[in-house]
């Protein structure tokens, strides 16, 4: 199950219990041989500041930081996109690894019911390099990406993301993309 994080428009708050996961994701990741650290325990409490998330990943010597979100842009905008930082504390090696991770995750997400974004990157590669994401900019040795799994204000994305099968497909695609991205 995919746990959608980030700000949600008020009209979506009633549906939050349908979008929760948490411990089952951790157990599934452990069965696949991965260790995970969640920075939020649920959808009602706030996690640490973004720059603190980078510090946590650096201190843990994490293989990757993957920050999951759902956008809340204009209703006509839809689809997933991946953000990476073109300028990171770890320099070119971490930047290139992050770009490769973003490409691998985007490729994996193509097999899900959520389409590539029509407002970020290109339909072929919905990648959005941004220099203003503290959780990514502060990474010193860990590649990192921010995944916007869809736009909650778009009725098609919202409808798809409410389906457990879609969330499972998206979670699996992200995990597969991370595995591929880390092998590059």
Whether residue 159 is contained in a domain is answered as yes
Task: Give the containing element (helix H, strand E) for 184.
Answer: none
d(CA 174, CA 120): 18
Whether residue 126 is contained in a domain is answered as yes
**88 vs 3, higher pLDDT:** 88
Active site residue 96: no
Task: Provide the whole-model pTM.
Answer: 0.84
Structure token pair of residue 16: 């939050």
Angstrom distances, CA of residue 123 to CA of 78, 100, 106, 118:
11, 17, 10, 7
Whether residue 4 is contained in a domain is answered as no
Q: Could you tell me whether strands 65-71 and 81-84 are parallel, antiparallel, or unpaired per DSSP bridges?
A: unpaired
CATH of residue 124: 3.40.630.40
Whether residue 88 is contained in a domain is answered as yes
Whether residue 99 is contained in a domain is answered as yes
CB under 8 Å to 158, separation ≥6 — which residues?
A: 12, 150, 151, 152
CB under 8 Å to 16, separation ≥6 — which residues?
A: 8, 43, 44
pLDDT in tens, 144-167: 999 999 999 999 999 999 898 998
Whether residue 92 is contained in a domain is answered as yes
Domain count for the chain, please give it. Answer: 1
Which one is catalytic: 18, 95, 124, 148? 148
Listed residue (42, 43, 37, 69) closest to 56, CA to CA: 37
- Sign of the torsion angle spanned by Cα atoms 83, 33, 173, 68: negative
Whether residue 105 is contained in a domain is answered as yes
Mean pLDDT throughout 102-118? Answer: 96
Whether residue 1 is contained in a domain is answered as no
**Domain housing 146:** 10-41+48-183
pLDDT in tens, 27-65: 666 666 666 777 776 667 677 677 788 888 899 888 999
Angstrom distances, CA of residue 153 to CA of 5, 24, 104:
14, 27, 26
């Amino acid at each position: 199950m995919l746990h959608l994080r980030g700000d949600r428009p008020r009209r979506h708050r009633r549906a939050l219990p349908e979008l929760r996961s948490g411990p089952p994701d951790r157990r599934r990741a452990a069965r696949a041989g991965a260790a995970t650290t969640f920075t939020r325990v649920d959808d009602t409490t706030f996690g640490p500041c973004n720059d603190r998330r980078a510090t946590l990943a650096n201190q843990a010597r994490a293989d990757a930081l993957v920050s999951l979100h759902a956008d809340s842009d204009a209703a006509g905008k839809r689809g997933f996109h991946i953000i990476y930082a073109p300028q990171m504390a770890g320099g070119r090696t971490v930047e290139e690894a992050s770009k490769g991770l973003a490409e691998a995750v985007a490729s994996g997400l193509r097999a899900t019911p959520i389409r590539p974004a029509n407002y970020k990157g290109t339909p072929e590669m919905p990648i959005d390099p941004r220099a203003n994401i503290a959780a990514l900019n502060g990474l010193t040795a860990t590649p990192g990406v921010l995944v916007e799994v869809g736009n909650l204000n778009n009725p098609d994305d919202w409808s798809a993301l409410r389906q457990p099968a879609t969330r499972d497909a998206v979670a699996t695609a992200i995990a597969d993309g991370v595995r591929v991205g880390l092998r590059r």
